[in-house]
Amino acid sequence: MTTTQLESSSPFFFLRKAFFLPYFSILLVMKTEDRLAFAIGRIENGCDIFSGQWVRDEESHPLYKESECPYLLPQQTCLAHGRPDRDYLHWKWQPHGCSIPRFNGTMMLEALRGKRMMFVGDSLSRGHYGSMVCLLQKFIPDNAKSIEDAGQRTIFTAKEYNATIEFYWCPLLLESNADNPWKHRVEERIARKDSINKHGQHWRGVDILVFHTYLWWYKDEYFKILEGSFEDKVKKIIDVRSDDAYRMALESMLKWVEENMDPAKTRTFFTSISPTHGRNVLWGGDKKGNCYNESTLVENLNYDVPRPLKKTMRVIDEALSNSNVQITFLNITRLSNYRKDGHLSIYKKQWTPLTAEQLANPVSYSDCIHWCLPGVQDTWNELLFTKLFYP
């Protein structure tokens, strides 16, 4: 079947092998007669906004200053925690052969008037949420905005717009023993099968939903799945390969979206894998190093994601392409993979005192998973903005 035939035979199609080609990404193509909620136009034909390169931009990036966003968490503020360099702030994503619109905070707030936007997932999703709040809050007077910590939900309210931007903590999407946002560090992770509605009841009524889940599924080769209830005195727990457990979560998410999100009125996004930079030997560095002291981008445009990630990407590709659910895929993996300079590294609040051994070896406690804000995750939101209004 040709690409044209695929376009005309289903609401969307995914370019096969999209994750494995250097400059390709998954594309979502709607039928010409369909119009997605919030869309006001289309990106130019043939423009893959996820294929491109980072270009230096000291005029318009960063899109906000760290010191001007009071809603950033101490786990996100690299400059406040002593990061000495500033170069990581001044990069803009430039697609090949086309451009993306500049993020327009006022336009975004108007679109959210009387509506709810929610980011769902783990701490990387929280960073994505924090970026969006910082991008929007500067357009709102101090007396017309507030933030509330409501257990698993964090709610930012733009009062004049009667709009909320929310974050909902559930790192596995399914009910799990890591659902407590303050006590989620468990040695043995367990997720309950067919439990998406445990959290999903809190997502109903949301107008723009942004899912992300990945890292928590891949601590080990096998993942523990609970059949039954966490309240059962005798629990039936089985070991499932992590890929299969992850696929199960994705399929549960897609089923929930199909049953609860109206594509004529709401939009659903799925954010792809956020790459880590824990082994700088992968980009030609010291075998004992990681993102610590990295202040430049990976310059090789053919630099590829590690093989284990490709395998997981295939799981995502299969789950999404086998579904008829209308969902927009934010393929941020490859573009973020170049940004070894963008992680928190050692420049964040440490929740427990560092040992003398750690202090002597900063690589040992460098965070190469999460991102500084402002930074890479602002670009994720520039791309989300583009796909929301110009799919």
Residues annotated as catalytic (active site), given as ranges: 123, 367, 370
Amino acid letter at 19? F
Q: Which residues contact 293 (CB under 8 A, 6 or more apart)?
A: 345, 362
d(CA 236, CA 193): 11
Helix axes of 376-389 and 123-137: crossing angle, nearest 10 degrees:
70
The answer to whether the CB of 100 falls within 8 A of the CB of 383 is yes
Residues 6+ apart with CB under 8 A from 118: 165, 166, 167, 168, 203, 206, 208, 209, 210
The rounded distance, in Å, linking the Cα atoms of 388 and 107 is 11
Is 321 exposed, middle or buried (CB count within 10 Å of its CB: 0-12, 13-18, 19+)? middle
Strand spans (E) along the chain: 52-56, 91-95, 116-121, 145-150, 153-158, 163-169, 190-192, 208-211, 222-227, 236-241, 267-271, 328-330, 343-345, 367-371
Contact 209, 38 (CB under 8 A): no
C-alpha span between 146 and 71 (Å, rounded) = 10
Helix/strand/coil (H, E, C) string of 143-154? HHEEEEEECCEE
Which strand (E) or helix (H) includes residue 19? none
Place of tokens 């059949």: 227
